[in-house]
Amino acid sequence: MNTVEKYYPWFAALGVTISILVLLGYFKDENREWKYWQREYIQQETEAATTEQELERAMRIPVEIRQILPIGLDRIDRCTSCHIAVEDPLYDGKEQPLAYHPNHSLHPVEKFGCTVCHRGQGLATEREAAHGNVKHWDQPMLVMEHIEASCAKCHAAAGIPGASRLVRGARLFEEQGCIG
Amino acid sequence: MKNPLMHIWMRFAASRVGRSIFRVGLPRSNLGRAQAMVSSFFLHLHPAKVHRRSLKFTTTLGLGLISLYLFLILIFTGVLLMFFYVPHPDQAYANMKDLEFVVSAGSLLRNMHRWAAHLMVLAVFLHMLRVFYTGAYKTPREFNWVVGVTLLLLTLGLSFTGYLLPWDQLAFWAITVGTNIAGYAPLMGERIQFILLGGNSVDSASLLRFYVLHVMILPGIMLFLLAIHLWRVRKDGGLARPDEEAVTVSEMEESSLPANKSYGLMGLARGCTPSVGINPEDEVLAWPNLLFREMLLFMATLIVVLLMAVFWNAPLEEIANPIHPPNPAKAPWYFLGLQELVAYSALFGGVIVPSLLLVALVALPYIDRSPKGVGAWFSGERKVAITLFTFCVLAAVILTVIGTYFRGPNWDWIWPWLEQAHSGH
């Protein structure tokens, strides 16, 4: 009655089950999308390196969460955790998420972040959640043809260069008497 | 020894350092097994021996222990979560997102905490039902029942205060509804609501004081009362048994003992402790029988919590918006029965009936003084008590189910399989 050996199979079975569940949880956590894309970027940079210095720089790029806290905009944008090549002109025209942002110098990402124009869920680091196409996030990403809608947040709609649609829309608004 | 790790351990335990730490080694004899309980700081709440009946799963379904283990899991995950949480409206919601997307194992931690909390409310409730249906609140365990009811209220309070912390729409409006119900109490209602909220509405003051209540005050009181609750289990004679009443040593008289013996009688042990009146054949050593069963139950509880946490995410809605109430705004599930009652009458349904039920619950062991039916499930000698109690429990469950599934916008009746339970946000 007082032997401990009869309990061993039970401890083994439950212990193994706990271990499996903990490992499952751990791998679910470790297997993040952004890590894949950052490793992909590092791989491409390593392959494209032509000098020793470039190769060393590429190999020392860390795989980590990247986030921007634009001053005065009260938000945290983690988009560059996947869109890591957003500031690199060599990635112009490449496939998302490793693509350069056109005219990046106009609104540098370290100053403005991303969601102030593109909307979406900057706090997220998974694709669908970050693009805001999930329940309980009521600001999904703007489709590209509507992107000029964000310009009017900061600029007076009348005269924004490069936002011809918005300017035309603002003029129509006034001409047709939609205001008031 | 076959196991090299065991060999290294035994060498250490036998060394001077080892012997200074472990006063009594791993038990090898029955004396050692008895000593293991009594001489260990962590284990000495256990008796050296337990009644055989205490080891059977069907005696208690382990519900009290499950509640305790869930509380321990909540403390462990809760402390870790505290490292990543700031109780201010400007940060709380973002911290939830950080846990989900940035913090290593953040999602798992939060899920474990959430599901363990819901399971604990359920486990504590079921434990109360078990204690009632086995008549284990009767003499001498009346006060332990009262402590238990207080622990139930603390569990609900802990769950309620924790519910607000994510600061999303679900949290904000559930607490708005809950504190409004508290406000219906006559005379003191508004004052109670003001103290709960730290103001007239759910705001940063409410979040802060709910946080302090949740991480410090309520757990502190809970641990204190838990210690008393477990202590009383021992001192009241262990788990309630059907034959307890039959063994009344107090009925023995000294004069009934044989007079031709050479040894003298020192005295008769009376009351419940030390273990009195247990047939030695019904006793087994707590090491390993009780202790190892307790450890296995902990592992099983952890498995259930881990399973839920790995496969189901804790809910998180939009950030709290004070000017955009959902329709319907619902209290946490364990208060939905109350909210359903409130829908009929704020004062009668929301205050008087629950208060009367609570008073009846606390006073139960002092009202039901019959000593019959202790230690047996659904004893036939307690038909009236069992019927009345079951009626109340069923009513509470039905009201909760109605509030959860059958109430839609404007608290109108809906058939859940036909309509959406929530209107658009």
pLDDT 10s digits, B71-128: 999 999 999 999 999 999 999 999 999 999 999 999 999 999 999 999 999 999 999 9
B425 contacts in chain A (CB < 8 Å): 136, 138
A22 touches chain B (CB under 8 A): yes
The yes-or-no verdict on residue B402 having pLDDT over 90 is: yes
Please state, in angstroms and rounded to a whole number, the distance separating the CA atoms of residues B104 and B99. Answer: 8
Whole-number pLDDT of residue A173 = 86
Give which of B225, B224, B214, B221 is closest to B79, Cα–Cα.
B214
Lowest mean pLDDT among A87-91, B41-45, B68-72, B378-382: B41-45
A14 touches chain B (CB under 8 A): yes
B292 → chain A, closest CA residue: A7
Whole-number pLDDT of residue B136 = 96
B76 contacts in chain A (CB < 8 Å): none
A137 → chain B, closest CA residue: B318
Whole-number pLDDT of residue B423 = 47
A24 touches chain B (CB under 8 A): yes
Contact B412, B423 (CB under 8 A): no
Whole-number pLDDT of residue B248 = 47
Handedness of CA B124, A11, A4, B25 (dihedral sign): negative
3-state DSSP percent of chain B in helix, strand and coil, to 5: 65, 0, 35
Please state, in angstroms and rounded to a whole number, the distance separating the CA atoms of residues A125 and A67. Answer: 10
A7 → chain B, closest CA residue: B292
Separation in Å, CA of A159 to nearest CA in chain B: 35
Which one of A14, A76, A129 has the shortest CB-CB distance to B300?
A: A14
B317 contacts in chain A (CB < 8 Å): 136
Interface mutation vs chain A, best among B99, B102, B293, B308, most A CBs within 10 Å? B102
Q: Which residues contact B325 (CB under 8 A, 6 or more apart)?
A: B173, B176
Cα angle B339, B114, B359; round to 5: 40
Please state, in angstroms and rounded to a whole number, the distance separating the CA atoms of residues A38 and A29. Answer: 16
**Is pTM, for the whole model, over 0.90?**
yes
Please state, in angstroms and rounded to a whole number, the distance separating the CA atoms of residues B99 and B97. Answer: 5
Does A2 contact B296 at a Cβ distance shorter than 8 Å? no
Does A14 contact B307 at a Cβ distance shorter than 8 Å? no
The per-residue pLDDT for range A35-62, each reduced to its tens digit, is 999 999 999 999 999 999 999 999 999 9
pLDDT: which is higher, A112 or A2: A112
Please state, in angstroms and rounded to a whole number, the distance separating the CA atoms of residues B116 and B68. Answer: 11
Please state, in angstroms and rounded to a whole number, the distance separating the CA atoms of residues A126 and A130. Answer: 6
Helix (H) or strand (E) holding B284: strand B283-285
Looking at this protein, which amino acid is placed at residue A167? V
The structure tokens listed for B282 are: 């019904």
The structure tokens listed for B150 are: 């207080």
Counting beta carbons within 10 angstroms of the beta carbon of residue B296, is it exposed (0 to 12), middle (13 to 18) or buried (19 or more)?
Answer: middle
Tokens 């403390």 correspond to B75
The per-residue pLDDT for range B23-82, each reduced to its tens digit, is 877 888 888 888 888 888 889 999 999 999 999 999 999 999 999 999 999 999 999 999
The per-residue pLDDT for range B234-276, each reduced to its tens digit, is 999 899 988 765 444 455 555 566 667 777 667 766 666 656 6
Which one of A25, A29, A123 has the shortest CB-CB distance to B97?
A: A123
Looking at this protein, which amino acid is placed at residue B14? A
Please state, in angstroms and rounded to a whole number, the distance separating the CA atoms of residues B393 and B129. Answer: 9
Backbone angles phi, psi at B78, to 5 degrees: -65, -45
The per-residue pLDDT for range A5-41, each reduced to its tens digit, is 899 999 999 999 999 999 999 999 889 999 999 999 9
The whole-chain average pLDDT of chain B stands at 91
Whole-number pLDDT of residue B253 = 57
A18 touches chain B (CB under 8 A): yes
Strands B49-51, B283-285: pairing is antiparallel
Q: Which residues contact A155 (CB under 8 A, 6 or more apart)?
A: A163
Does A125 contact B101 at a Cβ distance shorter than 8 Å? yes
Whole-number pLDDT of residue B420 = 59
The yes-or-no verdict on residue B421 having pLDDT over 60 is: no
Whole-number pLDDT of residue B269 = 62
CA B182 to chain centre: 23
Please state, in angstroms and rounded to a whole number, the distance separating the CA atoms of residues A79 and A110. Answer: 11
% of residues, chain A, pLDDT over 90: 73
Interface mutation vs chain B, best among A10, A21, A134, most B CBs within 10 Å? A21
Contact B284, B48 (CB under 8 A): no
Distances (CA, A) of B255 to A76, B246, B270, B273: 85, 21, 16, 23
B169 contacts in chain A (CB < 8 Å): 136
Helix (H) or strand (E) holding B283: strand B283-285
Q: Is the previous residue joined to B326 through a cis bond, with omega within 30 degrees of 0?
A: no
> What's the number of CA atoms in the CB half-sphere (13 Å) around residue B8?
2
Contact B141, B232 (CB under 8 A): yes
Whole-number pLDDT of residue B9 = 87
Q: Is the previous residue joined to B328 through a cis bond, with omega within 30 degrees of 0?
A: yes
Contact B106, B114 (CB under 8 A): no
Whole-number pLDDT of residue B425 = 38
| Residues B173/B213/B401/B171 CA torsion (nearest 10 deg) | 20
The per-residue pLDDT for range B292-341, each reduced to its tens digit, is 999 999 999 999 999 999 999 999 999 999 999 999 999 999 999 999 99
B168 contacts in chain A (CB < 8 Å): 136
A121 contacts in chain B (CB < 8 Å): 97
